[in-house]
Amino acid sequence: MSARKLTVGDWMTRDPITIQDGASIIEAIHLLKEKNIRRLPVMHGREIVGLVTEKMLLGYVPLKATSLDQWEVHFLLSKTSVREAMNPKPYTVHAQTPLGEAAKLLRDRKLNGVLVVDAIGGLAGLLTTTNALEALIHFADQAAG
């Protein structure tokens, strides 16, 4: 791989774990914890309808100062869909997008990840800051060794 041809597709996470838009916030929180991930593309069938992150979901969890007890909170979150918490217009890039361009988008917009879409707007993958750092480490190691 030469630096000129380095693309998002070379470093993205393929087949990311997703969640359907009708799933509850509780289901999304459990999925994030179970899979040890921080973001989920939100789908309606096979169509991308948004992105939900751990931070967005935790924004829906009431503070300890609430008058609700833990069972009421759990019930409320089990009845609230991820549609309520998701970003309905997440940033997207294509697999052919130069990695440097995608990294600048992550930096400039203070994002931790972007969805990677195919030519017809379907989900192809996910590019995270971790993926971009892995590329940087790879090439730094190559240059040093």
Q: Kindly report, residue by residue over 75-107, the tens digit of the pLDDT.
A: 777 888 999 999 999 999 999 999 999 999 999
CATH code (residue 37): 3.10.580.10
pTM, entire model: 0.86
Higher-confidence position of 143 and 119: 119
Q: How far is CA 136 from the centre of its chain?
A: 20
> Residue 2 — very low, low, confident or very high, per pLDDT cuts 50/70/90?
very low
Quick check: 59 pLDDT over 90? no
Q: How many CA atoms lie within 13 A of 120 on its CB side?
A: 3
Residues 61-80: tens digit of each pLDDT: 765 556 666 777 777 778 88
- How far is Cα 22 from Cα 78, in angstroms, rounded to an integer? 11
> Residue 141 — very low, low, confident or very high, per pLDDT cuts 50/70/90?
confident
What's the number of domains the chain is made of? 1
Please state, rounded to an integer, the average pLDDT across all residues of the chain: 89
Q: Domain of residue 139: give its range.
A: 3-144
The secondary structure of 22-90 as a DSSP string is TSBHHHHHHHHHHHT-SEEEEEETTEEEEEEEHHHHHTTSPPTTSSS-HHHHHHHHHSSBGGGTSBSS-
